[in-house]
Structure 1
Amino acid sequence: MTELIETDSIININDQHSFIVCCFYTESYHEHAMRLKSSLDKFSLSYYFSQVEDAGYWEANTRLKPHFVMECLNKFPEKDVLYLDADAIVKQPIDYFNNVTADVAFYKTKGMPSMSHDYLASTMFFKNTEPTKALVQQWITEQVDGKNTQVDQDSLDQAMIKFENKISVEPLPAGYIKIFDKDYEGEIYIEQYQASRSQTKLRRQKIRQRNRIVGVVLLGAVLVATYVIAG
């Protein structure tokens, strides 16, 4: 069971915007989160930062995301929620989110080359509506206990399929989810620095472990075959 356990938090509220930026992070991401905070202070944005206990490995930490989003929707009922990963930086004013009328605004990647999921989950806007909350609850429901390598985007894709005709979705412009090393010629408002690339993934560990086992089995088979032929 995924559990969100907060160890520290920072809240800054102002009424200049209809949304609040929300971010959760583990201790290893603290420096990234504080850089994000500094960029939000520069533009006088409301924010809520929550440091949480590490769930044990990267994939499990990603599965905390829908729980955190639901917490924020309930904690700030008068604000819409702009979720940002801790390794993001806001580069320009993001007044755009004051004018989103859809239930959610996500960047859709379905069908794009080299993309493994239908949506990116590093910049996500949630209008504080009942349909939005129902989607987030479905996102949580789609997480499978015991499936250790499942990540937040796996369950998000499944939830979005089930809610295809139940919520309104605005395509998030690319400038609000710019990945730092990807070519892009437009205006950059939010840049994502992909700190997860340096994190040890359970999926990779399992693949390496499987490959070692296969290697040992193959070596054993070769030795046995060599012994039989030699005999």
Structure 2
Amino acid sequence: MPKLSACCFVVNYNNPLGFQMPDENKKELVKMLTEHNVPLVEDDVYGNIYFGAGRPKPCKFYDEAGIVMWVGSVSKTLAPGYRVGWVAPGKFKEKIIRQKLVQTVSGPSLFSDVIADFLEHGRYDHHLRMFRKKLYANYLQIQKSVTQYFPDNTKISEPKGGFMLWLELDKRICTEDLYDEAVSQKVNFAPGRMFSQYNQYQNCMRLNYALEWTDRVESDLEKLGKMIKNRI
């Protein structure tokens, strides 16, 4: 059996489930990978979008051997177009610097400088507080609308952060077929099948509640609910 070279995890509010790995599991994951000397690339891009009292711990918190490369970004929280991110590289610092030089030489400094200034003066923290509050309000709105308009047997995820809502519909529903009908009426969602390499989650879908909540959004959810009910 070939040796595992590395692994990548999104342990805080992953896409599409919005799942948050319990702290004890994060600790055990790092312990196991340390014992086998397998590096962990931890994509924590959603970690700052939490709905509770405090930010969830990353796996990096439990890393004593430097095997975790903790990756973050403002792409999901502030400025998607800037493509500015960072990494706490652990024991792989020199290798990561070399790869950065080999692959990109250097990035545009203006974007990095703008983000650095925003961070330094506390404006990013203020932005995050307002952003989290808005997303949580959107989550409550979309949850209410799905409960109101979708069939009673619809299962709805309960994320503690992020901006993805995962729905499991009646087994008779194929969301790939539903997607074509929805797009024809200018209603959009992500079919569950696209999140698997195999023939899975065909009766599931992902909704995004990072959009500005409007009457149009609620109307689209009502339309989508009617489409689903007509297929049962």
* TM-score, shorter chain, exceeding 0.5: no
Q: Which has the higher strand share?
A: 1
Task: Tell me the TM-score normalized by structure 2.
Answer: 0.25
Task: Tell me the TM-score normalized by structure 1.
Answer: 0.25
